[in-house]
């Protein structure tokens, strides 16, 4: 196996889930999203580990992601968080993937397909857009669509959901917006009940709301990023400690590589494409076999990212290439060829930064740092 790999600490993942469970009341279900290959961590392994922790629902974004779980023998309910194409509906139904629905056309596609496969009590969740501006019906149409579902031949409303746009931002406007979204959601649920219909499992809490807004837990929470060990935006460790509800989330992924060569360069030598960096004095440059083809993306070159080698940090120099990048060791570093390099991850692996630190330096979110790792990076699962 190549030296560039993502070590996935399944025990950290399980510990995060157990710690998050401490924030929800007994009887509140948990849905763990394993979409985008479990935020880059490996969907099947994370799904199995989540189910071992008693998680009731898994979630994916595409039918294919759902099939991957089914092919691995996973039998739990699987929610489909995004919409699928008409030609994917049959595969979804055959494999008991539970869609979010919110319009008559999509509802009847699933109704017909369920009938075709003799599934006369097929679960769907009604999605309500209370302000995310993505999928869902308008709150005022929720009761009508619940009626459309209940009038269908083969479907039943197993659940009702909405999604928050700003629950991870703690400025006054965002807090107010989340409150408004939640009020619209609970009102819609009431409207559905007034029609004599059952909204089923009501759920809206993402990571931030799970940790910070217990009143939004309702029947189920859907924490994503925090199960993988990163803060939910402003709802970070410091914020929660101050609030008196501390949590110690452990990063699940450590990204490692090794030094494939050390080259001695004279002052004035340049490194990499475009010659964006030139040595101001004699130095040793380490060549690493990781690049943007692995998900160590090119724009990190500009952010002054450092990597950890034997407990010390060294800067990446020049542009990150597709398959390699270069690191400045300076003179007499004591670093040797084939030494291990830790890009980000758990302290116990020798990491000096997390995916979240890199995200901050590169103006993105931790989600993206782990999710963009490509197939070429083997995921190695350890306890
Ligand atoms: C991805 C997603 C989540 C999880 O969000 P986090 O911010 O990772 O907690 C929850 N619900 C829906 C609908 C999602 O798409």
* pLDDT score at 45: 98
Q: What is the rounded CA–CA span in Å between residue 163 and residue 146?
A: 18
Bridge partners for 262 per DSSP:
286
Q: Is 273 a catalytic residue?
A: yes
Catalytic residue list contains 35: yes
Rounded to two decimals, the pTM is 0.97
> Looking at residue 248, what is its pLDDT?
97
Check residue 295 and give its pLDDT. Answer: 98
**Is ligand 1 within 6 A of the CB of residue 224?**
yes
pLDDT in tens, the chain (383 residues): 999 999 999 999 999 999 999 999 999 999 999 999 999 999 999 999 999 999 999 999 999 999 999 999 999 999 999 999 999 999 999 999 999 999 999 999 999 999 999 999 999 999 999 999 999 999 999 999 999 999 999 999 999 999 999 999 999 999 999 999 999 999 999 999 999 999 999 999 999 999 999 999 999 999 999 999 999 999 999 999 999 999 999 999 999 999 999 999 999 999 999 999 999 999 999 999 999 999 999 999 988 999 999 999 999 999 999 999 999 999 999 999 999 999 999 999 999 999 999 999 999 999 999 999 999 999 999 99
- The atom number, within ligand 1, closest to the CA of 367 reads 8
Question: Which of the residues 5, 14, 29, 35 is marked catalytic?
Answer: 35
Place of tokens 């008196």: 244
CB contact set of 323 (below 8 Å; sequence gap of 6+): 289, 290, 291, 293, 294
Q: Give residue-wise pLDDT tens across range 226-242.
A: 999 999 999 999 999 99
Classify burial at 294, counting beta carbons within 10 Å of its beta carbon; exposed 0-12, middle 13-18, buried 19 or more.
buried
Question: What's the burial of 287, exposed, middle or buried (CB within 10 Å: 0-12/13-18/19+)?
Answer: middle
pLDDT at 56: 98
CA 233 to ligand 1 centroid distance, Å: 13
- CA-proximal residue: ligand 1, atom 6 (nearest): 224
Helices (H) and strands (E) in the chain, counts: 12, 18
Cβ of 225 closer than 6 Å to ligand 1, yes or no, is yes
Return d(Cα 373, Cα 37) in angstroms, integer.
10
272 lines ligand 1 (CB under 6 A): no
Q: Which atom of ligand 1 is found nearest the CA of 39?
A: 8
Confidence (pLDDT) at 302: 86
Is 228 close to ligand 1, i.e. is its CB under 6 Å away? no
Ligand 1 geometric centre to CA of 20 (Å): 15
Q: How many CB atoms lie within 10 A of CB 219?
A: 15
């Amino acid at each position: 196996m190549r030296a560039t790999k993502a070590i996935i600490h399944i025990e950290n993942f399980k510990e995060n889930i157990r710690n998050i469970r401490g924030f929800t009341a007994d009887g509140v279900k948990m849905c763990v999203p394993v979409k985008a290959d479990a935020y880059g961590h490996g969907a099947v392994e994370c799904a199995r580990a989540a189910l071992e922790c008693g998680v009731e629902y898994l979630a994916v974004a595409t039918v294919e992601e759902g099939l991957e779980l089914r092919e691995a023998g996973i039998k739990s309910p699987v929610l489909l968080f995004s919409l699928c194409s008409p030609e994917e509906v049959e595969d979804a139904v055959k494999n008991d993937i539970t869609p979010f629905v919110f319009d008559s056309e999509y509802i009847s596609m699933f109704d017909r397909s369920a009938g075709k496969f003799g599934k006369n009590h097929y679960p769907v969740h009604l999605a309500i857009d209370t302000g995310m501006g993505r999928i869902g019906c308008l709150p005022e149409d929720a009761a009508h669509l619940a009626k459309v579902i209940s009038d269908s031949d083969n479907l039943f409303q197993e659940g009702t959901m909405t999604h928050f746009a700003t629950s991870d931002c703690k400025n006054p406007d965002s807090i107010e917006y989340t409150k408004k979204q939640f009020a619209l959601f609970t009102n819609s649920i009431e409207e559905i009940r007034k029609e004599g219909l059952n909204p089923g499992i009501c759920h809206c809490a993402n990571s931030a709301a799970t940790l910070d807004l217990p009143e939004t837990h309702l029947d189920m929470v859907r924490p994503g990023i925090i199960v993988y060990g990163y803060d939910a935006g402003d709802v970070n460790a410091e914020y929660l400690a101050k609030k008196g509800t501390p949590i110690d989330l452990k990063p699940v992924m450590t990204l490692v590589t090794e030094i494939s060569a050390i080259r001695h360069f004279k002052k004035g030598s340049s490194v990499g494409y475009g010659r964006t960096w030139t040595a101001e004095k004699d130095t040793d440059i380490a060549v690493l076999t990781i690049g943007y083809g692995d998900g160590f993306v090119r724009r990190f070159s500009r952010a002054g990212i450092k990597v950890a080698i034997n407990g010390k940090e060294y800067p990446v120099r020049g542009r990150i290439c597709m398959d390699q990048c270069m690191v400045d060791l300076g003179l007499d570093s004591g670093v040797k060829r084939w030494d291990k390099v830790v890009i980000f991850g758990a302290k116990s692996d020798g990491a000096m930064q997390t995916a979240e630190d890199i995200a901050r330096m590169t103006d993105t979110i931790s989600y993206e740092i782990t999710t963009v790792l490509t197939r070429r990076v083997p995921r190695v699962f350890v306890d």
